[in-house]
Amino acid sequence: MSIGSDDIEKLAVLARLSFEGDELGDITDKLAAIVAFVDQLGEADTASVTPMAHPLDQVQRLRADAPDADIDRARLQACSDATEDGLYLVPRVIE
Amino acid sequence: MTAMHELTLTGMRDGLHDGRFTARELTAHLLARIEAAQPRLNAFITITADAALAAADAADARIKNGSARALEGLPIAHKDIFCTDGVRTSCGSRMLEQFVPPYDATAVALLADAGAIVLGKTNMDEFAMGSSNETSFFGDVHNPWREGLSPGGSSGGSAAAVSARLVGAATGTDTGGSIRQPAALCGITGLKPTYGRVSRFGMIAFASSLDQAGTLTRTAEDAALLLGAMSGLDPRDSTSVDAPVDDYVAALDAPLEGLRIGVVQEFMGEGLDADYAVAVRAATAEFEARGATLVNVSLGNIGLSVPTYYVVAPAECSSNLSRFDGIRFGHRADNPADLEDLYRRSRGEGFGAEVKRRIMTGTYVLSAGYYDAYYLQAQKVRRLISADFARAFEDVDLVVGPTTPTPAFGLGEKTDDPITMYLNDIYTIGANLAGLPAMSVPCGFVNGLPAGLQLVAPAFGEGRMLAAAHQYQQTTDWHQKAPGGWS
């Protein structure tokens, strides 16, 4: 399966990534090489094999659905470059 | 008298308790070594000198009044992937260059509660994606054994810092070999526990079904000391395992007699440096001479471990790293045209080339039309690889082999070819896919550079594995060798 620049643009949109200048040619070449490398997985006979999602086959432990907020909003929002009145700022979405 | 930095973590503990030196003296001595080493090794991203000295004074007071805890006053460093309350946590990325977390990772909190003193945060491959420490936004780390060579990665800064005697021990994380491979290349002891043994809370996620925190130390005895303090159930990590934590230090005395050790045949053939193979054979012969029984074992599907990993890990990474949106934390692009532009440029500018490659790979293998052929197939092959280990452990207590195919390689040598770089983890990835505990111990030298022996145990077999490594280190001295100029 070859990967072309159209595929890269589609994937970049899905991944919400931008590529500038030489980056585009580089990612096209290297992603094609990586996909060619992982293609060898197709050689394995897995017809009767159950997929493995957890390395120890354990189920996810759930906790009680109770509030556990021990970080105050001001400290948490100090990690952001753009907040106002306790809210995160983003570009206008609704005109 | 042995210089303070020459001591192992356990030796430092004894020195503090015997009154040979104070925690302040030890901390100040190592901080001076870190400062002096930084221009040559670049092992640290952030050095926390003031906080470390204040903590050392508090440790001295506790030692004096008899309330010392298990790791009181012992100097360590954290890989910069662990969130540290009030201390920048960059994950080796421009994305988090200015990120100061408002909380501690559980592993960080547990080690602090045990009295350890943190001297700084170590350099690493960006978001732990790399095997050479060259993908770090903060520059390459150099191998203390020979500057100009890679220390390995992704925990390359932690490995270099322990190897150069800058700290007593360091934390690391291992998703496909990121503790064991740099430990082997830097001539130290590196341990990745069973998946879920150490909490992943506050450890910045790369591939959640593979990531595990562990230790980089000079000896197996030090690893046992540190691992005991880090391990345990954490309600904040739903994958952390609810199983009792063994007394790893007490377990070290178990003898080698009667131990059945499987030598992985697939790891001893083509691709392994011939002199490296000699070092590994000598190590297995030492185990045999001490009363262990050697058995040849085969892991028939292990040859597919690297391609399996490079589907599963990027898939999980593409999902995990979607949290970096330029809004709540991390790099934010200037003057975005709209929300989409903010996302794409913040991520495009904030992530380096290897991280973007893995996100793109993950997006590809999860996308419609390719999911079954790649992601689902990789999960099935993962089970085959895991079953191979399970079969081997029906007959043996541990499996062993080389940690890496070659000793340390040159910085810049493999950066143009991702596949060649990925194959560097060919012997280590299997344990991550199967969730098994594994470690690397120094076992000799190839052209003056350290070689590592890898031991892999059944799930929660850390105690038995540490005992075997410790017993090996009682009659060999590879782990005591210091890189020239750093002793």
Q: Does B88 touch chain A if contact means CB atoms closer than 8 Å?
A: no
Q: What is the pLDDT of residue A69?
A: 67
Q: Indicate yes or no: CB of B301 within 8 angstroms of CB of A44.
A: yes
Residues B48-52, mean pLDDT to the nearest whole number: 98
In tens, the pLDDT along B91-101 reads 999 999 999 99
Q: What is the pLDDT of residue B377?
A: 98
Residues B181-188, mean pLDDT to the nearest whole number: 98
Q: Indicate yes or no: CB of A91 within 8 angstroms of CB of B336.
A: yes
Mean predicted lDDT score pLDDT of chain B: 97
Pick from B381, B388, B423 the residue to mutate for testing the A interface (most A CBs within 10 Å).
B381
Q: What is the pLDDT of residue A71?
A: 76
pLDDT bucket at B244, cuts 50 / 70 / 90: very high
- A2: pLDDT strictly greater than 80: no
Mean predicted lDDT score pLDDT of chain A: 91
Q: How many CB atoms lie within 10 A of CB A68?
A: 10
The CA distance from A62 to B262, in Å, is 38
Q: How many CB atoms lie within 10 A of CB A83?
A: 17
Report which of B170, B116, B161 is spatially closest to residue B142, judged by C-alpha positions. Answer: B161
Query: Does the pTM of the predicted model rise above 0.90?
Result: yes
Report CA B106 to chain centroid distance, whole Å: 17
The CA distance from B154 to B190, in Å, is 12
- From chain A, the residues in CB contact with B361 under 8 A are 31, 34-35
Proportion of chain A above pLDDT 90, given as a percent: 66
Collapsed DSSP state (helix, strand, coil) of residue B81: coil
Residues B94-116, mean pLDDT to the nearest whole number: 97
The CA distance from B104 to B100, in Å, is 11
- B1: pLDDT strictly greater than 80: no
Q: Could you report the predicted ipTM of this complex, rounded to two decimals?
A: 0.95
- From chain A, the residues in CB contact with B383 under 8 A are 49-52
Question: Do you know the residue count of chain A?
Answer: 95
Report CA B369 to chain centroid distance, whole Å: 36
Residues 237-276, chain B: which have Cβ within 8 Å of A? 238-239, 241-242
Q: Does B459 touch chain A if contact means CB atoms closer than 8 Å?
A: yes
Q: Indicate yes or no: CB of A27 within 8 angstroms of CB of B360.
A: yes
The CA distance from B58 to B28, in Å, is 14
Give the residue numbers of B marked as catalytic: 79, 154, 178
From residue B414, alpha-carbon distances to B49, B319, B358 in Å are 35, 27, 17
The CA distance from B241 to B219, in Å, is 26
- From chain B, the residues in CB contact with A46 under 8 A are 377, 380-381, 384
The minimal CB distance from A52 to the residues B196, B332, B386 is found for: B386
Residues A71-83, mean pLDDT to the nearest whole number: 91
- From chain B, the residues in CB contact with A64 under 8 A are none
In tens, the pLDDT along A30-64 reads 999 999 999 999 999 999 999 998 888 888 888 88
Q: Could you tell me where the beta strands, DSSP code E, fall in B189-332? A: 189-192, 213-217, 260-264, 293-297
In tens, the pLDDT along B290-315 reads 999 999 999 999 999 999 999 999 99
Report which of B395, B371, B440 is spatially closest to residue B183, judged by C-alpha positions. Answer: B440
The CA distance from B413 to B92, in Å, is 20
Q: Indicate yes or no: CB of A52 within 8 angstroms of CB of B382.
A: yes
Please give the residue of chain B at the shortest CA–CA distance from A86: B328
The CA distance from B448 to A38, in Å, is 35
Torsion of CA B480, B406, B147, B25, to 10 degrees: -30
Q: Does B454 touch chain A if contact means CB atoms closer than 8 Å?
A: no
CB of B5 closer than 8 Å to CB of B30: yes
With vertex at residue B347, the alpha carbon angle to CA B344 and CA B349, rounded to the nearest 5 degrees, is 105
CB of B399 closer than 8 Å to CB of B297: yes
Dihedrals phi, psi of A78, to nearest 5 degrees: -65, -20
Q: How many CB atoms lie within 10 A of CB B71?
A: 27
Q: What is the pLDDT of residue A1?
A: 55
The CA distance from B229 to B249, in Å, is 11
C-alpha distance from B251 to closest chain A C-alpha (Å) = 24
Question: Do you know the residue count of chain B?
Answer: 487
Q: Indicate yes or no: CB of B374 within 8 angstroms of CB of A11.
A: no
The CA distance from B352 to B348, in Å, is 8
Residues 407-426, chain B: which have Cβ within 8 Å of A? 417-419, 422
In tens, the pLDDT along B377-406 reads 999 999 999 999 999 999 999 999 999 999
Q: Does B390 touch chain A if contact means CB atoms closer than 8 Å?
A: no
Q: What is the pLDDT of residue B360?
A: 98
Q: Indicate yes or no: CB of B384 within 8 angstroms of CB of A49.
A: yes
Please give the residue of chain A at the shortest CA–CA distance from B378: A41
Residues B2-28, mean pLDDT to the nearest whole number: 97
- Residue pairs spanning A and B at CB distance below 8 A: 176
From residue B138, alpha-carbon distances to B31, B122, B125, B378, B417 in Å are 20, 10, 9, 33, 21
Report the b/e string of B441-480 with b at 16+ CB within 10 A. bbbbbbeebbbbbbbbbbbbbbbbbbbbbbbbbeebebbe
Q: What is the pLDDT of residue A70?
A: 73
Q: What is the pLDDT of residue A95?
A: 76
